[in-house]
Amino acid sequence: MHHITIRGVRIDDVTYADVTDCITGYIADGHPHHIVTVNPEFIMEAQHNEPFRHVLEQADLATPDGFGLMLVSRWRKTPLRMRVTGVDLVTHLTAAAAQRGWSIFFLGAAPGVAEQAAAILSQSTPGLNIVGCYAGSPYPNEEQHIHTLIRQTQPDILFVAYGTPAQELWIARNRTALHASVMIGVGGAFDFIAGVSPRAPLWVQKIGMEWLYRLIKQPWRWRRMMLAVPLFLWSALRERTTSAQE
C-alpha cells in the first residue's frame, strides 16, 4: 500500500473502499486492530507527545484526514487520492456494516449524543446492528466498567469519540482488553451526525475550507488550530527543503 511520511508520521493512501476491505481482513483474523485518521493537528501533537507518536507508529492503518495533508502530498508530487475523515468513515462503515453483518459499539461524546447518532444512522441504514452506546470518559477510573460493557457485546467495530489525542491513547491502552476487532478514534463525529455540531456544506469541504468553517462555528478552536495548521505547513515545507539539501 502506498504511503507518505510527514514529520515522521505515516499516512496511508487509502480510499473508503480500501478501508472497508482492510476491515474485512481485520475482522477475519480475530486480532484487535487500530485505525487512526491523521490530520495536521495529529502530526504537530506527535512532535512533542512521545506516547502519542508511538501509538501512531503502531496503528494498523492511518487515513489522510485533513486538507493540509492533501496539499503537502501534492506539493511533494506524491499525491494522496482522497481525504478519509472520521465522520465520513462512520457513515461509510455503518453502511458497509449493515451489508456485511458487522456489529458496532459507539463509545464517547456527551451523554445521549452517541444514542442520538446511532438512532439517526439506524433509521437511514436498515439492518444496522449497533450493539451498544456509552458516553463514559477517557479517564482510567472508568476503564473497568467500559471493558465489561464492550466485552459483553463483542463488537466488530468500536468507534471512540473522546477527541485527539485522548481517544488514540485510550484505544492503545485498552485494545487487548476489549474483544473488539477494529477500533477507530472518530473525534466529533457523533456530534456532527446527531446535529450537535454543524458540518460544513459539501462545497466548502470540496474547496478545502472545512477547517475555516469549523473555526468560525466553534471559535474556541482558534488557539489550537491557528497554531497547528500554519506550523504544520511550515514544518512540512521545511522538512522537504532540508531533506532535498541532504
Q: Using CB under 6 A as the criterion, which residues of the chain lie in contact with ligand UDP when the complex forms?
A: 108-110, 135, 137-138, 161-164, 187-188, 190-191
Nearer to ligand UDP, 68 or 188 (CB): 188
First-last CA distance in the chain: 27
Contacts of 171 (CB under 8 A, 6+ apart): 34, 55, 160, 183, 185
Task: Report the residue number whose CB is nearest to ligand UDP.
Answer: 187
C-alpha span between 148 and 154 (Å, rounded): 10
C-alpha span between 88 and 166 (Å, rounded): 20
From the CB of 205, what's the least distance to ligand UDP, in Å? 15
C-alpha span between 28 and 234 (Å, rounded): 42
Nearer to ligand UDP, 5 or 137 (CB): 137
Nearer to ligand UDP, 198 or 201 (CB): 198
Query: Under a CB-based contact definition with an 8 Å cutoff, are residues 12 and 36 in contact?
Result: no
From the CB of 120, what's the least distance to ligand UDP, in Å? 15
From the CB of 235, what's the least distance to ligand UDP, in Å? 20
Nearer to ligand UDP, 161 or 184 (CB): 161
Query: Under a CB-based contact definition with an 8 Å cutoff, are residues 86 and 168 in contact?
Result: no
Amino acid identity, position 246? E
**Phi, psi for 207 (deg, rounded to 5):** -85, 10
From the CB of 125, what's the least distance to ligand UDP, in Å? 21
From the CB of 244, what's the least distance to ligand UDP, in Å? 32
C-alpha span between 83 and 64 (Å, rounded): 5
Query: Under a CB-based contact definition with an 8 Å cutoff, are residues 114 and 190 in contact?
Result: yes
Nearer to ligand UDP, 155 or 187 (CB): 187
Nearer to ligand UDP, 27 or 199 (CB): 199
From the CB of 71, what's the least distance to ligand UDP, in Å? 19
